[in-house]
Amino acid sequence: MNKSTMAKLCVLLFGTTVSYAQVSTAQDSLTKRPVQLDEVLVEGKQKTDPVFSTFKSEPEKKIVQSKNVADLFKDINGFNLIKRGNYAIDPSFRASQYEQLNVQFNGGTKVMHACPNRMDPITTHVIPEEIERVEVVKGPYTFRYGPTFGGIVNLVTQEVEKQEKGYHGKVNFGGENNGNAITSFANVKYVGEQFDANINFGFRDFGNYEDGDGNEVPSSFKSTDYGVQVGYNPTDNQRIQVGFRQSFGRDVLHAGLPMDTEEDNSNVLSVDYKLDNISDGLKTLSAKVYRSKVDHIMTNELRPTFMMMEAVSAVDATTLGGRVELEWLPITNFKLYTGIDAFSVGRTGNRTRLVKRNMMTGEPLPMPMEFVDEVWQDSQIDDYGAFVEGKYPLSEKFLLNVGARYDRVQSKIDAPADDFVAEYPDLDTRTEHNFSTTASIKYMATSNLLFELAYGRGVRSANMIERFINHFTVGQDPYEYVGNPYLDAEVNNQFELGVKANANFDGYAVNRLDYGASVYYSIYDNYIVPVIDPSLDKKYMPMAEPTEVKRFTNLDEAYKTGFEIFGELTFLKDFAFKTELSYVYAKNRDLDESLPLTPPLVTRFNLRFEREKIWARAAYTITSEQSDIAPSFGEQTTDGYGVVDLSFGAKPFEHLTVGIAASNIFDVAYNNHLNFSFVNQADYGRVPINDPGRNLSAFIQYSF
């Protein structure tokens, strides 16, 4: 199905919901609460939230400026960051990353990257200050928001309809000394009885930072973002919301990639609709349609290879999607969700190379030679899904959740290169049928003790890089990668057991203890990894090392296991001390090594003092050595390290918030195991990129 057909389908789905709204039953006029869209997955309610879910908020108290949205994950237990510099940052959760995580914002909207090296992940297309909370479902335990392999990450922007009536707004500024960073953000909103509007604007200018040894890391970038959101409630039980945002990245340096971003432009248009309190049996109808577009230009103009060869890549990605969901109440206390959704991503673009010198001798060519390489080969992947999920209390203490999902995935390539056709002669449109299931139980032993047990079978079809990339360097290592359009979908059979508890102590210096733990085990089927294929010849610079080529393939035997533990002690009313641990062990039995991008043991200690108008925090993060690596992926053993961060904030006046922070106060030189290595840089060999050294930050915000 082509994009125009899919667009018509999405419009039809949305039109159907509007038509249904016009014939809905009369509503109780006494119900005046605002209709809230299905943008929030986690509501902080243990009995109704998805199993093994969590959320993080408090954006006003962060103080340290976020490079992009991915920075918001670094303090969430179980998360790590994949860094290629200071801009293109991806979250990794329990050694799942990229399309293994279902990353979206506002309950379903997606922005897919255009660059094959992921210079422009979804985390670069939303303003960090606009995110009010980060929600996480820690495994394939719900399928209402698309196919889920390793978990769901939902970035919730400002929920305007929940706020007080009238005009509101804020403006803030931030700065950092390491890299001379400047950030600014402005927001104005109006909330009325039937109408509300929200406007955001943000600007960020980050320079190159220095690591703990005083070495300058090429990582500067500029970005400008704005967003407009308008909501309208035609009746007491209906809401329509339209959102539009654009992001513009400029002059982005990527220390860990072979090229830099000259321009990165994106826009996202979304329309949401909800009809609430329909009837006794049918409670809610909700719908969403969206379109996002990313245009990306990258060059090697500032790299050493520019003297030998000029390279410019202009690529784009268009994403279309939508969903319709019905919430039923067939019997008392039984919530049943049914729905359909659609997702399509298409990518085009090529790389133009102007070879100016003989690659072997370095002598200038009498006439430069131009070559054009297809980057995406005009590829497209469409996913059409249907789901059903039910929540039923077996008793006052037991809550059962069961769900299933079917996905019909179509992939095609419209402009394959000759050598790709020679490798894969039968490149017709391919259709896959994926089935996902989940079952979980919550047992509330007492009001202070919760047990959770879950199983999920999450299925993920190969992404476009894994299917169609053709002799491009897209990994952490310097190998050329070749896609495989015949890959089987990878399957995560995940089992998890967890406990959460708390105890209150009245009349003591120690006020409260919160603690919990979860342990999980995943059996992978058809896990997708790139492996050296001796039958493939290197296409570009064939004499340069490494001369081997990697092809994406399925593993027969792989698994993952790990745990997360936390404990928080509140004392003297205003103080809290929290400890968190997370550990992942992953095994590729086919090659007898770890799966790539597996983080080491991470331990966090946090001491917090907090009152209404003043707060302070000290954090000590210990990251252990990672010696369990994937040599076939070019990984190296990473040393352990410890980093101390301090922050202080205050609200001296009703509308004014200020803060200062010091990150890595002991100026430790370190690199995380998931950091990429320097590539094509004049002053660096292929060694891992160090994180920033000591950094002082200041923040001020005025709100009204």
Higher pLDDT: 3 or 208? It is: 208
pLDDT on residue 514: 97
Contact 165, 190 (CB under 8 A): no
Q: Is the pLDDT of residue 610 over 60?
A: yes
What is the spatial distance between Cα 689 and Cα 693, in angstroms, rounded to a whole number?
Answer: 12
* Alpha helices, DSSP H, located in 601-658: none
Query: Tokens at residue 394, please?
Result: 């077996």
pLDDT in tens, 642-654: 999 999 999 999 9
Mean pLDDT value across residues 439-451: 95
Contact 229, 198 (CB under 8 A): yes
Helix (H, G, I), strand (E, B) or coil at 223: strand
Q: Is the pLDDT of residue 219 over 60?
A: yes
Contact 63, 190 (CB under 8 A): no
Q: How many CB atoms lie within 10 A of CB 26?
A: 7
pLDDT in tens, 299-350: 999 999 999 999 999 999 999 999 999 999 999 999 999 999 999 999 999 9
DSSP code of residue 483: -
pLDDT on residue 490: 97
pLDDT in tens, 454-508: 999 999 999 999 999 999 999 889 999 999 999 999 999 999 999 999 999 988 9
What is the spatial distance between Cα 112 and Cα 346, in angstroms, rounded to a whole number?
Answer: 9
pLDDT in tens, 373-414: 999 999 999 999 999 999 999 999 999 999 999 999 999 999
Query: Tokens at residue 101, please?
Result: 């995580």
pLDDT in tens, 538-588: 999 888 889 999 999 999 999 999 999 999 999 999 999 999 999 999 999
What is the spatial distance between Cα 129 and Cα 170, in angstroms, rounded to a whole number?
Answer: 11
pLDDT on residue 405: 98
What is the spatial distance between Cα 208 and Cα 220, in angstroms, rounded to a whole number?
Answer: 5
Q: Is the pLDDT of residue 25 over 50?
A: no
Contact 76, 58 (CB under 8 A): no
CA angle 91, 96, 102 (to 5 degrees): 70
Tokens 């960073």 belong to 181
What is the spatial distance between Cα 92 and Cα 599, in angstroms, rounded to a whole number?
Answer: 9
Contact 173, 193 (CB under 8 A): no
What is the spatial distance between Cα 287 and Cα 13, in angstroms, rounded to a whole number?
Answer: 8
DSSP code of residue 59: G
Mean pLDDT value across residues 266-281: 95
Contact 322, 12 (CB under 8 A): no
What is the spatial distance between Cα 575 and Cα 684, in angstroms, rounded to a whole number?
Answer: 45
Least confident of 17-26, 49-58, 531-540, 550-559: 17-26
**Whose CA is closest to 142, among 427, 513, 403?**
403
Contacts of 549 (CB under 8 A, 6+ apart): 471, 479, 480, 481, 482, 532, 533, 536, 537, 538, 539
What is the spatial distance between Cα 154 and Cα 38, in angstroms, rounded to a whole number?
Answer: 11
Q: Where does residue 225 rank: exposed (0-12), middle (13-18), buried (19+ CB within 10 A)?
A: buried
HEC readout, 535-581: CCCCCCCCCCCCCCEEEEEEECCEEEEEEEEEEEEEECCCEEEEEEE
Q: Is the pLDDT of residue 30 over 90?
A: no
What is the spatial distance between Cα 540 and Cα 546, in angstroms, rounded to a whole number?
Answer: 11
Could you tell me the pLDDT band of residue 34, with boundaries at 50, 70 and 90? low
Contact 31, 283 (CB under 8 A): no
Tokens 């708390």 belong to 502
Contact 565, 517 (CB under 8 A): yes
Q: How many CB atoms lie within 10 A of CB 662?
A: 17
pLDDT on residue 55: 81
Helix (H, G, I), strand (E, B) or coil at 235: coil
Phi, psi dihedral angles at 397 (to 5 degrees):
-110, -15
